[in-house]
Structure 1
Amino acid sequence: MTEQTTSGGSLTLVQGTAMYVGAVLGTGVIALPALAAKVAGPASLLAWLALVVLSAPLAAVFAALGSRYPDAGGVSYYARLAFGPRAAAVTGWCFYFAIPCGAAAAGLFGGAYVAAAVGGGQLTTGVTAAVLMLLVGLGNTYGVKVSGRFQLGLAGLLVALLVAAVATSLPHARMSRLHPFAPHGWGAVGSAAALLVWSFAGWEAITHLAGEFRSPRRDLPRATGLAVVIVGVLYLVLAFAVIVVLGPGAADSTAPLGDLMATGLGGNARWLAAGAALLLTLGAMNAYWAGGAKLGAALGRDGQLPAGLARGSVAGEVPRRSLAVITVLSGVSLAVAESTGLGPQPVVLLTTGCFTAVYVMGVAAAVRLLPRGSVAWVLALVALAAVAVLLVMSGRYLLWPVLLAAGALGYQRYREREIKPGARELA
């Protein structure tokens, strides 16, 4: 096992920070403050705070792994180094096949804001989600260099819009709206935290792009540190504003960011909110599809998915086949969500169940791979304990990662049976 210090990639520190901000400060910010308030009331602020605190060691651990072992396989590659190919396959499948579910929920979140601004109801929401998927799929066919520039522009715009939403709405805040603080009991804080994992998923996504940095060892930790500060501050102030400005009505809002902007700037601000929602959705989907496409190529390269997906696993190459698979599966997920009327919340929880399982495997690999006694190793132990608690909180939504794990192991056995006869013939 050797550490890699060079790269053939093109991502700069600023572009990498923007990719992180887009991946983590994604669609959760436009919908989950209201969903969390519905579950736990003002006490949901404690869940937000806990996840912000957890994100620092978690992000630091993945940055330490990514800077030492920059590979398109990301967390799956670390699991291979630490625990072998079967663990790598399970980790890779849990991440790769969570992206289409997440894309459906993300597209629906963004589409709801457009529908709130222009009308059209569920039809507008679904069509907007489909268009977003096509745009992100087409954008990533040109490679991560173009994708990184695109993300930089998106990150700057969305941060400016979020700051404007909070700054203009806070004069309408009432501290009395913090009472009662825990109307659904303190146990609801844990339920809200399980839901909010969606908002903080993303620290692992950029590990698949570590090899695309010009200098992974130097720039990846710096990009991570900058992103942790930016994301943490924005999430906390926005969640606080939703509670104290919108009050009990926040729980029933389908477009809380739009409601904040309408409060501060007037009803026409819903158009601005729709634009912000689209930027956030595009940014998150862009980062995840770029990282996920690279992961699919790496899994094809390593025999954990069909070999036809392997093209594009090398830094600088575009994994168009893997990207096409993500795009098609995302469309299927959207069609299922729309036709069954599930709504985004269960899809979010299925996705976060997968991401939490990936986190557990990733930080467990970090405990095995990072220098024992180092700061990063200690942070890995802390993160492992925290994500294990989150895993338990996921409850029945762990069914999806369990099914994916069974599929990954079944495919590995199939591959082994296919390879062994050929090996005997060659012998």
Structure 2
Amino acid sequence: MLTVKQGAALSVGAVLGTGVIALPGLAAQVAGPAALVAWLVLIVLSAPLALTFAALGARFPDAGGVATYVGRAFGPRAAAVVGWTFYFAVPVGALPAATFGGAYVSAVLGGGHRTTLLTAAALVALVTAANLGGVRLSGRVQLGLAAALVALLLAAIVTALPHADPANLRPFAPHGWRAIGPAIAVLVWGFAGWEALTSLAADYRNPRRDVPRATWIAVGVVGLLYLAVAATSQLVLAEPSTAPLADLLAIGFGPGARALTAVVALLLTAGAMNAYFAGAARLGAALGRDGALPGWFARGSGAGQVPRRSLAVVAGLAAATLAVAAATGLGPRPLMLLTTGSFVVVYVLGTAAAVRLLPRGSWARRTAGFALLSVLGLLALTGWYVLWTALVAAAALAYQRLAPGTPAGRRYRLRSSTMCMAASSAEAAPPSMPTSEPISSFSSSSP
């Protein structure tokens, strides 16, 4: 079973993840120092989102996570859409997450793109092995990763801050204030993850007490670290960098910090992937249990069990995505935006479910309403990348309609069977039968 510390560590790993590796520099390239406003906006918006999912997890602990909540609110078809959207987004998002960490390794060891891809493959294997030991082992691993990560980030901030120069904040908005919007769109990737841990709510010793506590701790740690790294990067580095953490550590510890930077990047990446693989594996097993995926997935869906089949599918799809990227030269950015679009759709449906399920007049429901409005705004910034999610949703609905084990599928087959029986009866009937009713009517009206 998960403790509050382990749950908070999983949350920190899922959300902090790879965002702190590159996003401060990417956002600064879009909006300049005004990107700090974008960071602050997303930190403020992420708190009600996280607390909304925590409130749902505390009241309805289940391995299905957001899919379970949406199913309670809007029915099994909507739950299947959410479940498929999240489940199949994780393997796609694993590649950009892993390559962000792999790029730091290639900067130290050389080998370019080949080293990056090999490191990404090793990360997929590592987090799969960690989750094969069950969520308890995964939580212990994550607790150690989170502690080391926080210590290294604090060291980078503290040692680099003496080199801060307020002149680096001028001009504050070199690309105009409107650039804050695109910067927010870039930074959404760094705040995805609050929904991932809802699938683990049933593994807490006392979900109603422990899930909110773990979430509050994670919200505070993530918000402070993100803002501190972003502000320090902007104050210390004269030019935006795609690897600001490496630059900060180099300033604080000298050129030899490159190897340390690679370690930090790997810790961040492994932590994020570990949390997502754990949540997705749990979700896939729950979807199989509930009929939204084939029943083969259902093994290991109980609390404390290891969903090895579902985990194997997640790992296999991640490996397949990696192989396609290696063969085609596909970069991480399109996959990152596709994954972000999927998560935003999950947020919209999840917060809408919270508005319907949480008690009327409660602060939890008011928080959910604010979170819903916020994620609708993020959806508008997603653009055409949401089309991938539309295709996944269509596949989920088609499976619900046609699969033997689903209620909709059984109704569809019953309806089809009835129509076939009716058609067969019509074909077997004698030619005079269609005219029997008019003839009878005519006869009865005769004198």
SS at 1:342 equivalent = coil
Counterpart amino acid of 1:143? G
Pair 1:141-2:132 in alignment:
yes
Pair 1:315-2:315 in alignment:
no
Q: 2:84 aligns with which of 90, 93, 97?
A: 93
Pair 1:355-2:326 in alignment:
no
The range that moved more, 68-77 or 298-307, is 298-307
Counterpart amino acid of 1:85? P
Could you report, residue by residue, the CA deviation over 1:213-232 in whole angstroms, capped at 9, with x for unpaired residues? 01100110000001110100
- What does residue 344 of structure 1 align with? 332
- What does residue 22 of structure 1 align with? 13
Give distance in 2, aligned partners of 1:130 and 1:166: 30
Alignment of 1:3-402 (within 5 A): 10-250=1-241, 253=242, 255-402=243-390
Could you report, residue by residue, the CA deviation over 1:386-420 in whole angstroms, capped at 9, with x for unpaired residues? 10000000011111111111111111111257534
SS at 1:19 equivalent = helix
Could you report, residue by residue, the CA deviation over 1:353-387 in whole angstroms, capped at 9, with x for unpaired residues? 11100000010000000001100000011111110
Deviation at 1:337, TM superposition (A): 2.8
Give distance in 1, aligned partners of 2:332 and 2:166: 30
SS at 1:45 equivalent = helix
SS at 1:72 equivalent = coil
- What does residue 5 of structure 1 align with? none
Counterpart amino acid of 2:303? A
Deviation at 1:423, TM superposition (A): 6.7
Deviation at 1:210, TM superposition (A): 0.1
Q: Give every structure 1 segment of 4 or more consecutive aligned residues whose post-TM-superposition deviation is greater than 6 Å.
A: 421-425
Give distance in 1, aligned partners of 2:337 and 2:325: 13
Counterpart amino acid of 1:369? L
Give distance in 2, aligned partners of 1:187 and 1:96: 34
Aligned length: 413
| Contact 2:29/2:240 (<8 A) preserved | no
- What does residue 7 of structure 1 align with? none
| Contact 2:400/2:409 (<8 A) preserved | no
Give distance in 1, aligned partners of 2:127 and 2:188: 23
Counterpart amino acid of 2:44? V
Give distance in 2, aligned partners of 1:396 and 1:37: 24
Give distance in 1, aligned partners of 2:399 and 2:183: 35
The range that moved more, 178-187 or 309-318, is 178-187
SS at 1:394 equivalent = helix
| Contact 2:26/2:240 (<8 A) preserved | no
Deviation at 1:52, TM superposition (A): 0.4
Counterpart amino acid of 2:353? A
Counterpart amino acid of 1:399? L
Could you report, residue by residue, the CA deviation over 1:82-116 in whole angstroms, capped at 9, with x for unpaired residues? 00011101111111111011110110000011011
Change (3 A) 1:182 1:421: closer
Give distance in 2, aligned partners of 1:103 and 1:344: 10
Deviation at 1:265, TM superposition (A): 0.8
Task: State the Cα RMSD in Å.
Answer: 1.4
SS at 2:361 equivalent = coil
Counterpart amino acid of 1:400? W
For structure 2, the residue ranges without an aligned partner over 5 or more in a row are 418-447
Give distance in 2, aligned partners of 1:216 and 1:186: 43
Give distance in 2, aligned partners of 1:118 and 1:413: 51
Give distance in 1, aligned partners of 2:176 and 2:331: 25
Deviation at 1:335, TM superposition (A): 2.2
Deviation at 1:37, TM superposition (A): 1.5
| Contact 2:401/2:412 (<8 A) preserved | no
TM-score by length of 1: 0.94
Counterpart amino acid of 1:159? V
Give distance in 1, aligned partners of 2:136 and 2:49: 26
Counterpart amino acid of 1:197? V
Pair 1:409-2:409 in alignment:
no
Change (3 A) 1:76 1:418: closer
| Contact 1:195/1:352 (<8 A) preserved | no
Counterpart amino acid of 1:162? L
Could you report, residue by residue, the CA deviation over 1:270-299 in whole angstroms, capped at 9, with x for unpaired residues? 100100111111111111100000000111
Counterpart amino acid of 1:166? I
Give distance in 2, aligned partners of 1:363 and 1:249: 35
Change (3 A) 1:249 1:218: closer
| Contact 1:195/1:348 (<8 A) preserved | no
Counterpart amino acid of 2:163? H
